[in-house]
Structure 1
Amino acid sequence: MRPVFVQIRCIPGRTYEVADAIYDREIVSELYSTSGDYDLLAKVYVPEDKDIGHYLSENLFDIDGISRTLTTMTFKAF
């Protein structure tokens, strides 16, 4: 499993609705409310045999109320 972090910007007033929809899909291991340019920060473990872009698009990015995302991939450095 590869961990990736996804920052999520929501349509104003829909952050709680988006967070509930994310939890309902059981795709994230952690989900936080954040300050700044994005409203939520999700930690997602992507199976090794899956393409990250396709996996996130099919399982997360189609949630109604999401206006923008920023995905940060991780690499084993140590």
Structure 2
Amino acid sequence: FFVELLMPKQCDMPDRDTMIEIFTKHLGPVDCFDHRRESAGFAPQNYKVHYEDTDADISPTLMVTDCEKIDKPVLDDF
């Protein structure tokens, strides 16, 4: 599933070490399998799903993408 965060201001992609530090603080050890200006990919090692048909334990994939400017409000007032 996807989670989109709505930020009041656009921000730059954090550096690889900062992202690893923050993810590790909240999720435990993570593998960084991709880090560029536009996106970064991580796999938290303490969380796995088991696939019975292949007898494999696989970590979820966390993808962080660059901020996109939104010209109009996405949410209505509550």
Determine which structure has the larger strand proportion and give its number. Answer: 1
Of the two, which has the highest radius of gyration?
2
Question: By the TM > 0.5 criterion, same fold?
Answer: no
Q: TM-score, normalised by structure 1?
A: 0.29
Q: TM-score, normalised by structure 2?
A: 0.29
Ranked by relative contact order (alpha carbons within 8 Å, sequence separation 6 or more), the top structure is 1
